[in-house]
Amino acid sequence: MTSQEAIDIYAGLGACAALGLAAGGFAYCAMKPQSQVFGRTLIAPDAPGELALTFDDGPNPACTPRLLDLLASHQVQATFFMIGGFGEREPELVRRVASAGHLIGNHTWSHPNLALTAARQVEEELRRTSETLEQILGTAVRYFRPPFGGRRPFVLRTARNLGLTPVTWNAMTNDWEEPVANAIAGRLTRMVDRLTERGRAANIVLHDGGHRMLGTDRNPSMNAASQLLDRYSATHRFVTLDAWSSEAPSLG
């Protein structure tokens, strides 16, 4: 462990202890998507009726093309947080996502938990992914979502030094392991409706890929996305995350 890593961890523990979080404090600060103790992340503004559909762990040739067709049929743009190693292997699919008007973000090179990753690897994961995606796209990548939500002060500083805005979320379920689309959509619908009632926008996470390999079956997630689009297209406004980048995060 480097001296900087030790400083970050002890500083984080001190901040958590100051909040009275004790033994579970570090885990809460590092992994809870709404926590801002280790540093600010973009979640969603106080904007009831706005939804951001975001998709993690692509690009995935098994599901991402179908998702693009689905979004196009509803004239909705989404945000895709891509794994750099997959983007390098599927550059045409990366370009197809961007050419359809969707926003592309950095989801690291190999999907580690950055709360527990050595400082040198953290920087390499973020830098390599941004450089690869930017070379494919010809435009800058400005948003970053830490895998599993895992972060610590060094991770957020590194992201900002690379020109990346860290992003978490306020609406996610276990779509990566749930086989029933209705269950995924039902849970997310309840979250979105609660957020709307509380005057908040929803930053929704679904998965169009799996971080372990290309070709992961994400059909339940795709079908759940279809249900959300059908339910909310007439009553809510779908946005990409850059629409919220100047807004303060809403917690919860």
Q: Which domains does the chain have, with CATH numbers?
A: 1-39 (no CATH), 50-150+165-244 (3.20.20.370)
The candidate with the shortest Cα–Cα distance to 175, out of 198, 151, 202, 207, is 207
56, 57, 175, 208: which one is catalytic?
A: 56
Alpha carbon dihedral 29, 203, 174, 27, in 10-degree steps, equals: 0
Q: Which of 102, 107, 207, 211 is catalytic?
A: 207
What digits encode the pLDDT tens for the residues 141-196?
Answer: 999 999 999 999 999 999 999 999 999 999 999 999 999 999 999 999 999 999 99
Average pLDDT over every residue of 199-208: 98
Q: Residue 22's pLDDT is what?
A: 47
In tens, the pLDDT along 61-97 reads: 999 999 999 999 999 999 999 999 999 999 999 999 9
Verify cis geometry, omega within 30 degrees of 0, for the bond prior to 59. yes
**DSSP class of 244:** G
Q: Helices 153-161 & 3-18, crossing angle to 10 degrees?
A: 120
Q: Tell me which residue of 147, 152, 157, 108 sits closest to 130, measured CA to CA.
A: 108
Catalytic-residue membership of 207 = yes
Please check the confidence at residue 2 and state whether its pLDDT lies above 90: no
Residues linked to residue 202 through DSSP beta bridges, in sequence order: 51
- 56: annotated active-site residue: yes
* Closest alpha carbon to 78 in 108, 101, 48, 49: 101
